């Protein structure tokens, strides 16, 4: 029986005063229920999906955004194509108003195409939004971004800054893994990625444990939470996170626009000298993990079986030969090796 993720530690009845230095410097994720429930954007979303979209439209000033469009058969999962020579979605640069129109047009389609606007700076795209939809961070000057889409699945990835994700509309499921689980997440190409960060190759909706056996170990260390409008999630630096927009059981078209804002950038903006030490440690750990990812994500299924077989003897067995264990060397980056 596969291990199930543990729930993320929650804090109930939160308000802006809940954002203490201790929380923002935590090394563990935390859920803050109701942290941004007072935001006008959240209140509009609770009225109706069109009200949420209208709230965004009032701040939009024609700045183009980058949007991803996937066919219905990808089931919301933005990923590589079958040969790893490209991706299973197309990218367009267009106005946010047009994106909102397309989200509305396909709201009742079953299955619907996947539409997603990734990390976009709020002050550039929606100037004025933060006047009433913001949080107090004291001397910190975080970068505020917005994500907008329908029922999508964003592959597990990690960010160097700490993140505070605030759900405005729709529901989001975050599945989190501590940084050291990189070896069990089967991370894909480092230099050819959908959005800049290397991603896990595992389909979380249908994990193939024959192909990705170590993913079971990752799940044993995972934490999961479902967020409602008004909730927030603090994610420490370098924690892997898979993000899924959840359907509504009552109405398939309810998620006209599912958006959440992320306020991040704390890893380099600590309140005191001790926190700067943690920031430097985080950057060092990021560099080490990046160096470790390349041989890990290129290991083939044969190497995986050989490692398990030789674990008790300290030897590597492959192709019928036995030899002392040697440092891993990355094989050619073929699509097949990337899957393994």
Q: For 36-88, what is each residue's pLDDT tens digit?
A: 999 999 999 999 989 999 999 999 999 999 999 999 999 999 999 999 999 99
Q: What is the pLDDT of residues 86-132, one digit of tens each?
A: 999 999 999 999 999 999 998 888 889 999 999 999 999 999 999 99
Q: Which CATH class is domain 6-274?
A: mainly beta
The domains of the chain are located at: 6-274, 300-340
pTM value is: 0.78
SS3 content of the chain, % helix, strand, coil (to 5): 30, 25, 45
- Percent of the chain residues past pLDDT 90, beyond the cut: 61
pLDDT of residue 110: 85
Comparison of pLDDT for 215 and 311, the residue scoring more: 215
Integer Cα distance of 270 and 279 in angstroms: 8
Q: What is the mean pLDDT of residues 283-292?
A: 51
Q: What is the pLDDT of residues 206-222, one digit of tens each?
A: 999 999 999 999 999 99
Question: 253-284 burial string, b = 16+ CB within 10 Å, else e?
Answer: bbbbbbbbbbbbbbbbbbeeeebeeebeebee
Confidence of residue 247 (pLDDT cuts 50, 70, 90): low
Whole-number Å distance between alpha carbons of 99 and 65: 9
Distance from the Cα of residue 234 to its chain's centroid: 12
Q: Is residue 288 very low, low, confident or very high in pLDDT (cuts 50, 70, 90)?
A: low
Tell which wins on pLDDT, 4 or 129: 129
pLDDT the model gives residue 281: 56
Q: What is the DSSP letter of 47?
A: H
Which of 13, 288, 25 is CA-nearest to residue 140?
Answer: 25
Residue the block writes with tokens 């490692």: 307
Q: Say what the pLDDT of residue 155 is.
A: 98
């Amino acid at each position: 029986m596969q291990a199930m993720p543990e729930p993320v530690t929650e804090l109930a009845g939160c308000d802006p005063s809940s954002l203490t230095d201790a929380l923002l410097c935590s090394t563990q994720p935390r859920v803050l229920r109701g942290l941004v429930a007072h935001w006008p954007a959240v209140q509009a979303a609770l009225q109706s999906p069109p009200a949420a979209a209208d709230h965004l439209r009032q701040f939009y000033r024609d700045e183009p955004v980058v949007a991803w469009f996937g066919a219905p058969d990808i089931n919301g999962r933005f990923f590589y194509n079958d040969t790893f020579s490209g991706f299973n979605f197309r990218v367009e640069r267009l106005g946010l108003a047009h994106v909102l129109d397309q989200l509305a047009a396909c709201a009742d389609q079953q299955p619907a195409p996947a539409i997603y606007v990734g990390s976009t700076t709020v002050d550039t795209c929606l100037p004025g939004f933060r006047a009433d939809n913001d949080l107090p961070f004291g001397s910190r000057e975080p970068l505020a971004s917005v994500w907008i889409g329908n029922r999508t699945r964003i592959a597990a990835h990690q960010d160097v800054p700490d993140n505070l994700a605030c759900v405005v509309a729709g529901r989001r499921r975050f599945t989190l893994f501590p940084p050291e689980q990189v070896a069990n997440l089967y991370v894909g190409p480092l230099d050819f990625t959908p959005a800049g960060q290397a991603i896990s190759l595992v389909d979380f909706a249908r994990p193939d444990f024959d192909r990705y056996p170590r993913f079971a170990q990752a799940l044993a260390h995972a934490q999961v939470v479902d967020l409602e409008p008004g909730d927030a999630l603090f994610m420490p630096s370098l924690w892997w996170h898979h993000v899924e927009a959840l359907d509504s059981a009552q109405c398939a078209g309810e998620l006209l626009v599912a958006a959440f804002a992320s306020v991040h950038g704390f890893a380099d903006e600590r309140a005191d000298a001790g926190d700067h030490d943690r920031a430097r440690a985080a950057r060092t750990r990021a560099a080490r993990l990046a160096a470790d990812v390349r041989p890990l994500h290129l290991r083939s299924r044969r190497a995986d079986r050989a490692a398990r077989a030789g674990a008790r003897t300290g030897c590597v067995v492959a192709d019928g030969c036995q030899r002392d264990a040697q440092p891993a060397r990355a094989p050619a980056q073929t699509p097949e090796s990337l899957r393994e």
